[in-house]
């Protein structure tokens, strides 16, 4: 996959040039607006620092949450600007708007090496519009922030699977380059997508099986084993005839799951025990049960210890592992053991078996940090859950294809 990179831009020289950077700062916040996992901010630093060191006038664009095209203080990038200032060791100004008067005044006033973050691009409904003309008009306004001789750096891997204004349309209007993060993500995931060393094991979790049926089907054709846990496993268990009681279930997907099991049943690995809870609560009464042993009115919130052991045995024989999605409600301590156990098995495979192991972003990456696991124990932790899945499926990522030379 050939595209121009940040190194190509730096070789041209960026001193005194406005460089518009699309970053991924969609970080989780607690109820008080504090960042609970700064992983995506940390991952953005190499590109920003390189531009600052080169003397560029850096303008960062990003989104946070889903404000649905309206200004919403809850989704302001103010916490991100503060965290960036601390991480970079220099003041990062936050414009009070996206492409309004404040953004333009601040962009015009930048000195070499300064960094400006404009407000949440999703405060403008045109960012996610399906109308190409609307997106184009917004792109023109974003590009105008960069003045003459500007450039665009795409460094938000978590959004490259979306043809949105700040990701896609801006890249049509400025000389476009892949940032260090996007370059690393694409090159790393390409190794898994194109030539994974066998045995290749895919571990999938998360809430809804409907979101990942296409992924399971696509990857089951390439992988030796597809391990499935998390909320999505209950519909597959129901398709096998088990009564999952109040566990997360998509009844309209049971027939699809039956068909999937008929086609790929020899490759799909499902739990053999579960952790059932009396309710969805951190302090709920809970116990380990067999697949047919969930008490009436209870729900499963994690895979059980025998499942962790079974999954671990499959992972231990791997040479390539791709993991996307937690095995249970890892945010609650009582239901975090499945995710922690499987993650540790992947770390052990990296260390003991020389396996190439990739964590596919999103909640999986967050769980690694929250559960205190060694991030260096994985070959690569992606910043983009949906993007990494679509890349491995073989889908075209608009934000990457637009960069191709």
The DSSP bridge pattern shows strands 286-290 and 273-277 to be antiparallel
Across the beta sheet with 18-22, the strand order is 92-94, 115-117, 57-61, 18-22, 151-154, 176-178
Distance CA 205, CA 198 (A): 21
- 331 annotated as belonging to a binding site for a ligand: yes
> Do the annotations mark residue 369 as ligand-binding?
no
Say if residue 22 carries a ligand binding annotation.
no
Cα 250 to chain centroid, rounded: 24
| Inter-CA distances, 29 with 34, 36, 385, Å | 5, 6, 18
Contact 395, 219 (CB under 8 A): no
Q: Among the options 325, 362, 377, 385, which is catalytic?
A: 362
Structure tokens at 376: 């260096």
Whether residue 362 lies in the annotated active site: yes
Is 26 annotated as a binding-site member? yes
Residue 166 among known ligand-binding residues: no
Of the listed 150, 179, 386, 399, which one is catalytic?
386
Take residue 295 and report the two structure tokens written for it: 């008490």
| Phi-psi label, residue 111: left if phi above 0, alpha if psi -120 to 50, beta otherwise | beta
Q: Is 260 annotated as a binding residue?
A: no
Beta carbons of 328 and 339 less than 8 angstroms apart: yes
Check whether 66 is labelled as a binding-site residue: yes
Which of 173, 184, 208, 369 is the catalytic position? 208
106 annotated to bind ligand: no
316 CB neighbour count, 10 Å cutoff: 15
40 is in an annotated binding site: yes
Question: Which 3 state secondary structure label does DSSP give 200?
Answer: strand
Task: List all residues 6 or more positions away from 24 whose beta carbon is below 8 Å from its beta carbon.
Answer: 40, 43, 44, 62, 155, 156, 157, 158, 159, 181, 383, 384
Is 290 marked active-site? no
CA distance 73 to 65: 11
40 included as an active-site residue: yes
- Cis peptide upstream of residue 38 (ω within 30 degrees of 0): no
Instruction: Judge whether 64 is annotated as a binding position.
Output: yes
Which entry of 40, 180, 340, 370 is annotated as an active-site residue?
40
> Any binding-site annotation on 212?
yes
Handedness of CA 273, 234, 387, 156 (dihedral sign): negative
- Whether 293 sits among the annotated catalytic residues: the reply is no
Contact 305, 288 (CB under 8 A): yes
72 known ligand binder? no
Residues annotated as binding site for ATP? Answer: 212, 331, 361-364
Residues annotated as binding site? Answer: 24-26, 40, 63-66, 122, 162, 212, 331, 361-364
The catalytic site residues sit at 40, 208, 362, 386
Residues annotated as binding site for (2R)-3-phosphoglycerate? Answer: 40, 122, 162
Residues annotated as binding site for substrate? Answer: 24-26, 40, 63-66, 122, 162
């Amino acid at each position: 996959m050939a595209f121009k990179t940040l190194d190509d831009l730096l070789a041209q020289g960026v001193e005194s040039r406005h460089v518009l950077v699309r970053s991924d700062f969609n970080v989780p916040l607690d109820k008080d607006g504090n960042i609970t996992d700064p992983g995506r901010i940390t991952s953005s630093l190499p590109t920003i620092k390189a531009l600052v060191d080169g003397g560029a006038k850096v303008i960062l664009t990003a989104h946070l949450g889903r404000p649905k095209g309206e200004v919403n203080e809850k989704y302001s990038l103010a916490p991100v600007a503060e965290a960036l200032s601390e991480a970079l060791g220099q003041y990062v100004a936050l414009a009070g708007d996206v492409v309004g008067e404040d953004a333009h005044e601040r962009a015009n006033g930048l000195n070499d090496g300064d960094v400006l973050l404009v407000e949440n691009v999703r405060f403008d409904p045109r960012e996610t519009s399906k109308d190409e003309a609307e997106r184009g008009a917004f792109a023109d306004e974003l590009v105008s922030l960069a003045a003459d001789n500007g450039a665009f750096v795409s460094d938000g891997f978590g959004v490259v699977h979306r043809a949105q204004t700040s990701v896609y349309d801006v890249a049509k209007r400025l000389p476009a380059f892949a940032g260090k993060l996007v370059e690393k993500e694409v090159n790393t995931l390409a190794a898994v997508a194109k030539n994974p060393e066998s045995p290749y094991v895919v571990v999938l979790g998360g809430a809804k099986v409907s979101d990942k049926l296409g992924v399971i089907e696509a990857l089951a054709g390439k992988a030796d084993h597809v391990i499935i846990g998390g909320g999505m496993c209950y519909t597959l268990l129901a398709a096998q005839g088990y009564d999952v009681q109040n566990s997360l279930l998509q009844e309209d997907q049971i027939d699809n799951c039956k068909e999937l099991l008929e086609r790929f049943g020899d490759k799909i690995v499902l739990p053999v025990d579960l952790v059932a809870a009396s309710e969805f609560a951190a302090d709920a009464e809970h116990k380990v049960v067999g697949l047919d042993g969930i008490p009436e009115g209870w729900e499963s919130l994690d895979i059980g210890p025998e499942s962790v052991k079974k999954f671990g045995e499959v992972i231990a024989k791997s040479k390539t592992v791709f993991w996307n999605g937690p095995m249970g409600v890892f945010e609650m301590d009582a239901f975090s053991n499945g995710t922690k156990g499987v993650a540790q098995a992947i770390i052990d495979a990296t260390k003991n078996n020389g396996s190439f192991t990739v964590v596919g972003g999103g909640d999986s990456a967050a769980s690694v940090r929250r559960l205190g696991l060694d991030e260096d124990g994985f070959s690569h932790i992606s910043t983009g859950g949906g993007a990494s899945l679509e890349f491995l499926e073989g889908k075209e990522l608009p934000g990457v294809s637009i960069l191709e030379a």
